[in-house]
Amino acid sequence: VETEAPTLQKGAAMGQSVPRKEDGRLVQGQGVFFDDIKRHGMGFLHFVRSPYAHAKIESIDVSAAHELPGVYGTLTGDEVAILTDPFFQIAAPPGGHVKDYALAVGKVRYIGEPVVAVVAQTRELARDAAELVTVEYEPLEVVVDARKALQEGAPVLHEECGGNMSYTGVWEWGDVDAAFAEADHIVSIKELHFDRFNSTPLECDGALVEYNRGTGQWTMYTNNQFPGFAAIMMGPALRVGLDKLRIVTQDIGGGFGNKITTHPQLVVCCLLARKLKRPIQWTEWRTEFHQSMSHGNERWFEDTEVAVKADGTLLGFRTKAIDDAGAYLRYEPLGGVIWSQVAPGMYKWRHLRVEFTQAMTNKAPCSPNRGYSRMQQLWFTERVIDIVAHELGFDPVEIRKRNYVQPEDMPYETPNGCVYDSGDYPRALEMALELVGADRIEERRAEAASRGKLLGLGIGSTLDSGTNNFGQSQLVNPDLQFSGNNEVATVKLDIFGEVVVTLGTTPQGQGHETTAAQVVADTIGCDVDSVHVRAGHDSYWNSHAGFSGTYASQFAVTGLGAVKGAADMLAGQMKQLAAMVFQCAPDDIELAEGFARIKGNPEAALPFMALGAIVNANNAGFPDDPPTLNCRYVYRPPFQVPDKERKFGNLTLTYSMQIHACVVEVDPETGVTEVVDYAAVDDCGTRINPQIVEGQVMGATAHAIGAALWETFAYDEDGNLLTPNFYDYHVPHALDMPPLKTAAIESPSPFTPLGTKGMGEGGGGGIHCICAGIQDALRAAGGAIVTDSHNPYHRVWELIAHPERS
């Protein structure tokens, strides 16, 4: 694909599958997670949680817990309401009126909501003491269905909002009415449903918090993905300035978006550390995680209509989306509408209308879940296209190819003002189909039929459009002109000739230490092993990083952009310094193999250590402004003034892409779906480390297959979570996974320093891929339409038994 992207000079390190630097310590159990940190006299915290989905708190009695030897103290919602302010709401009204305290105040709104905190000498004792706390409740009517929550007479969760609707807006781009007037066919789809599921990081939430009474400062060791933002949430709640909150993150056992949210339990830890004058340790249990660690949001799409030309050209769609936010609004800024970054998916339809409404229900609150709420929108566009193909008799492959944004259209401006930077979607589709042997599909279908099985071919795609989510802030205030997320890095050469890189990011397994080292090694001419990378957050030593964190697939662009900028600066200074020593021009110096040397004269070479020593120990004879060999660079994504007419402008920087294809076999007797072949083709521009990229593709695909077949947060009508542990909530194991074939295309982004695009949130295409495979398989058994993103065996069995109901 021809773009104006910088051609990356792949060196000895960049573009290579360099083994991950962090894995040595992680696989040997040498990582340091917050739960590894111990302090003398620390107290263990356990929460008393609500057994009701909706109830008034009549009374709380903690006296029996206090009598248990070894119990240090308790905290209730009433105390929290005196000592803190509610978390500020990023949402606009009416949702913005929600009062979200660190413990339930007056009322509980979902099962598992923290009501009382108990601290004791051991974890087990805290648990026992929590059982001695008596809470009297007056149960209230429950609403778990977002559609019902919006109806007249539904029980209201937050009276201060005047109802359960937290946000509503109409998003219209192009001329939708004209498109429908021009259409040869209008396909109607009554209801589609994207199910509630989550990511399941190995490490649950928690913290170790110390309070220094002398300075009034808290130090919090935790595993938040976005510590800068956590401080901004917690400071005002605790009524202190940010200098009073030192947040430290080290190794983090997975995040996937869940840990972007600042969970109010952290404020409880702070209050108790101050109240009880001892360090507080809180580690969430798995069931607690399932019950109250925010979930990925469920979404309904109602009364969808699609305008199609006779030749299969898609003109546009209109739909009503209803989002289930759960009991509190804990999503990052307007996460509910980040879907609009990928409103048209990969397709060229230009007339789109979404009436979007978000409702609060008596279920766990939501947070970003790998792909924010883009996954829902991308699933919707893919599902709609397959249903159109089914209804009008088009081939799902051909209709996609006809309607894809084509490579020659790139950079392509979507109707809502986003710019897809580069890519070749048709080629990726061809590759994925080839990998799953789609050309032999009819033959395989017949063979499966001879064994009594239904075989189907499915396709799904995903765009990962991280990097610039704060552009969404314009949704609150259209006059804001944010340039998107910045990132900062420092690269220095020290007195021993060691290269030390400081990142502001908080990796949870993404391999930042490795790819940052690759970029630096090639830029300054040394090997990867001599580059030492410090990732993770400490408000003290990398407060320069400000708003940093790891989320939104931005490291490949902003993180590495900052690293590259700082490394370029350092390389320039090293050349300048060597030129002073050798009395030549800086351009005559080359940096290679750990030396600064005169080009063409390998004898005239200074080892890096000598450069470090000259600057740090022996710089008396230098000019007034000597090089420091300590370089800091702020990467700012290129900024284009947003177009208010389109609601937001060209703020998203990169669009990486994955196309998934699968072959599934459905057993018509049981409804069980087996994935027999699977391929994912990824394009994230220039790959710094192909093996890390492939690992990301594999992880995200497993996540997607899990969501499509096994993983669900199912609630009954009383708001009981039916899948509160790993027994009921089945995450795919290695043995559940099909053989996964991967391939890559590299279409460098013209907008980023290294041609990279963020890709860690991809994988959502896998959910659709399975849905499409099942729908194709069911053609031979009544031809049901798949309308849900989650299709466990009993739902598939129903589709076979009652295709007319789909």
User: Exactly one of 699, 724, 766, 792 binds ligand MCN (CB under 6 A); which one?
Assistant: 699
For residues 141 and 109, give the distance between their C-alpha atoms in angstroms, rounded to a whole number: 10
Q: How far is the CB of 752 from ligand MCN (least distance, A)?
A: 9
CB 747 to ligand MCN: min, Å: 10
If we measure between CA atoms, which residue out of 127, 172, 120 comes closest to residue 354?
172
Q: CA-CA distances (angstroms) from residue 231 to 87, 502, 505?
A: 11, 20, 15
Tell me whether residue 357 or residue 752 sits nearer to ligand MCN (CB atom). 752
Q: Which stretch binds ligand MCN (CB under 6 A): 282-290, 305-313, 681-689, 729-737?
A: 681-689
Calpha distance 331→358 (Å, rounded): 12
Give all strands (DSSP E) within 494-562, no chain letters: 499-503, 531-534
In the bound state with ligand MCN, the residue whose beta carbon lies nearer, of 549 and 792, is 549
CA atoms within 13 A on the CB side of 788: 19
Binding span for ligand MCN by CB under 6 A among 214-222, 509-517, 526-534, 724-732? 509-517
Q: Is 685 in the site for ligand MCN (CB under 6 A)?
A: yes
Q: What 8-state DSSP symbol labels residue 120?
A: E
Residue 276 has phi, psi (to 5 degrees) of: -95, 0
Spatial contact of 653 and 637, defined as CB atoms under 8 Å apart = yes
684 binding ligand MCN? (CB under 6 A): yes
Cα Rg of the chain, angstroms: 27
Burial class (CB in 10 A: 0-12, 13-18, 19+), 477: exposed
Task: With CB under 6 A as the rule, give the number of residues binding ligand MCN.
Answer: 36
Binding to ligand MCN by residue 256, rule CB under 6 A? Answer: yes
The distance of closest approach from Cβ of residue 757 to ligand MCN in the complex, given in angstroms and rounded to an integer, is 6
Q: Segment 15-74, which members bind ligand MCN (CB under 6 A)?
A: none
Q: Does residue 3 interact with ligand MCN by CB under 6 A?
A: no
- Which region, judged by CB under 6 A, interacts with ligand MCN, from 117-125, 209-217, 508-516, 586-594? 508-516
Q: Which stretch binds ligand MCN (CB under 6 A): 36-44, 252-260, 535-543, 609-617?
A: 252-260
- Least spacing, CB of residue 557 vs ligand MCN, in Å: 6
* Nearest to ligand MCN of 509, 637 (CB atom): 509
Q: Under the criterion CB under 6 A, does residue 552 sit at the interface with ligand MCN? A: yes
Q: Among 342, 331, 253, 252, which Cα is nearest to 297's?
A: 331
Tell me whether residue 304 or residue 654 sits nearer to ligand MCN (CB atom).
Answer: 654
- Residue nearer to ligand MCN on the CB measure, 275 or 512: 512
> Residue 555, interface with ligand MCN (CB under 6 A)?
yes
**Among the listed residues 629, 688, 745, 796, the single contact to ligand MCN using CB under 6 A:** 688
Minimum CB–partner distance for residue 560 and ligand MCN (Å): 6
Name the minimum Å distance from CB 680 to ligand MCN: 14
CB of 510 to ligand MCN, least distance (A): 4
Is the CB of 490 or the CB of 554 nearer to ligand MCN?
A: 554
Q: Whose Cβ is closer to ligand MCN: residue 316's or residue 511's?
A: 511
Least CB distance to ligand MCN at residue 234 (A): 22
CB 64 within 8 A of CB 133: yes
Of the listed pieces 189-197, 489-497, 691-699, 714-722, which binds ligand MCN according to CB under 6 A? 691-699
Here's the x/- map for ligand MCN, 201-240, by CB under 6 A: it reads as x---------------------------------------
Measure Cα distances from 206 to 5, 112, 223, 253 in Å.
43, 16, 7, 12
* Residue of 74, 164, 262, 553 interacting with ligand MCN (CB under 6 A): 553
Q: Looking at residue 443, what DSSP letter applies?
A: H
Rounding to the nearest 10 degrees, give the CA dihedral for residues 751, 752, 756, 759. -70
Task: For residue 368, report the phi and psi dihedrals to the nearest 5 degrees.
Answer: -55, 140
Task: Give the relative orientation of helices 765-777 and 374-392 as an angle to the nearest 10 degrees.
Answer: 20
Pick 671 or 699: Cβ nearer ligand MCN: 699
Residue 165 main-chain phi, psi, to 5 deg: -80, 120
Would you report the helix, strand and coil content of the chain in percent, each value rounded to 5?
35, 25, 40
By rule CB under 6 A, what string of x and - marks binding of each residue 738-777 to ligand MCN?
Answer: ------------------xxxxxx----------------
Select the residue interacting with ligand MCN from 167, 551, 678, 715 (CB under 6 A). Answer: 551
Sign of CA dihedral 521, 527, 529, 531: negative
Residues 6+ apart with CB under 8 A from 91: 98, 166, 167, 329, 331, 334
CA nearest neighbour of 398 among 456, 314, 306, 305: 314
Select from 512, 537, 575, 768 the one that contacts ligand MCN (CB under 6 A): 512
| SS3 sequence of 49-73 | ECCCCCEEEEEEECHHHHHCCCEEE
Q: Is residue 518 within 8 Å of 686, Cβ to Cβ?
A: no
Q: Judged by CB under 6 A, does residue 453 bind ligand MCN? A: no
Per CB under 6 A, 105 contacts ligand MCN:
no
The least distance separating ligand MCN from the CB of residue 695, rounded to whole angstroms, comes to: 8
Smallest gap, in angstroms, from Cβ of residue 568 to ligand MCN?
18
Q: What is the largest CA-CA distance in the chain?
A: 87
Between 653 and 759, name the residue whose CB sits nearer to ligand MCN: 759
Interacting span for ligand MCN (CB under 6 A) from 84-92, 253-261, 657-665, 670-678? 253-261
Helix (H, G, I), strand (E, B) or coil at 189: strand
Query: Is the Cα dihedral 615, 619, 623, 625 positive or negative?
Result: positive
- Coil, strand or helix at 259: helix
Q: Which is nearer to ligand MCN, 14 or 666 (CB)?
A: 14
For ligand MCN, give the closer residue by CB, 381 or 506.
506
Among the listed ranges 76-84, 284-292, 502-510, 530-538, the one in contact with ligand MCN (CB under 6 A) is: 502-510
Q: How far is the CB of 687 from ligand MCN (least distance, A)?
A: 4
User: Which strand (E) or helix (H) includes residue 187?
Assistant: strand 185-194
- The footprint of ligand MCN (CB under 6 A) covers 201, 254-257, 370, 508-512, 515, 550-556, 560, 684-689, 692-693, 696, 699, 756-761
